[in-house]
Amino acid sequence: MGIIPVLPVNVEMMVIVIAVVYTAVSILAQRKLSNPKRMREIQYKAKMMQKEMNEMLKNKAPQEQLMAKQKEFMPLMGEQLKSSMKPMMVILPLLLVVYYVLMPVLPLGAGNLNSSKELFFIVVFALGIVSAIVIMVYDRAKTKKEIAAQKAAEQATQ
């Protein structure tokens, strides 16, 4: 018996391999279809703009100034949303193919289709969390380096 008592071990291994491949393709699609560097730039600009808008609110700035700042802010958020939707155009159809086409044709023997789907989602979920944390740490480190390089370049020009 395997991890899930109703599935043969060979089926469990196939499901785990399929889940690992799906997760790898998902991560690759996210990294290639959305420009991570541009996303970091947008997030940094948005963070700075939010700080400015909060200061403007504290200082009771005129509504016209706040509206002008929001008009600058909204295109950035729109670009970020579009960029985050691009990978979904690959990931979601791939999930549907795996779930409705590939999983039902697995040689389950005495196994249960629902058990194999559950195992698939458990593995994808676990790998997704781990990979998201690793990517987040990597992106934060890269962002800090980019900000330090920008500040050094600004100081060199002054």
Q: Does residue 4 sit in the same domain as residue 27?
A: yes
User: How many whole angstroms separate alpha carbon 94 and alpha carbon 76?
Assistant: 29
Contact 42, 80 (CB under 8 A): yes
Question: pTM for the whole thing?
Answer: 0.73
pLDDT of residue 3: 59
Q: Does residue 5 sit in the same domain as residue 74?
A: no
Element spanning 34, H or E: none
Total number of domains in the chain:
2
Q: Does residue 26 sit in the same domain as residue 13?
A: yes
User: How many whole angstroms separate alpha carbon 104 and alpha carbon 62?
Assistant: 61
Judged by phi (left if over 0) then psi (alpha if -120 to 50, else beta), residue 109 lies in left
Domain edge (last residue) among 23, 53, 85: 85
User: How many whole angstroms separate alpha carbon 122 and alpha carbon 129?
Assistant: 11
Q: Does residue 47 sit in the same domain as residue 66?
A: yes
pLDDT of residue 19: 94
Q: Does residue 122 sit in the same domain as residue 156?
A: yes
DSSP at 1: -
Q: Does residue 64 sit in the same domain as residue 6?
A: no
Q: Does residue 155 sit in the same domain as residue 128?
A: yes
Per-residue model confidence as pLDDT tens for the chain (158 residues): 455 556 677 888 888 999 999 999 999 998 888 888 888 888 888 888 889 888 888 888 888 888 888 888 889 888 888 888 889 998 999 999 998 888 888 877 656 778 888 889 999 999 999 999 999 899 889 888 888 888 888 888 87
Containing structural domain, residue 44 = 35-85
Q: Does residue 111 sit in the same domain as residue 68?
A: no
User: How many whole angstroms separate alpha carbon 143 and alpha carbon 158?
Assistant: 23
Listed in sequence order, the residues at least 6 apart from 134 whose beta carbon sits closer than 8 Å to its beta carbon are none
Which two tokens mark 149? 């390089």
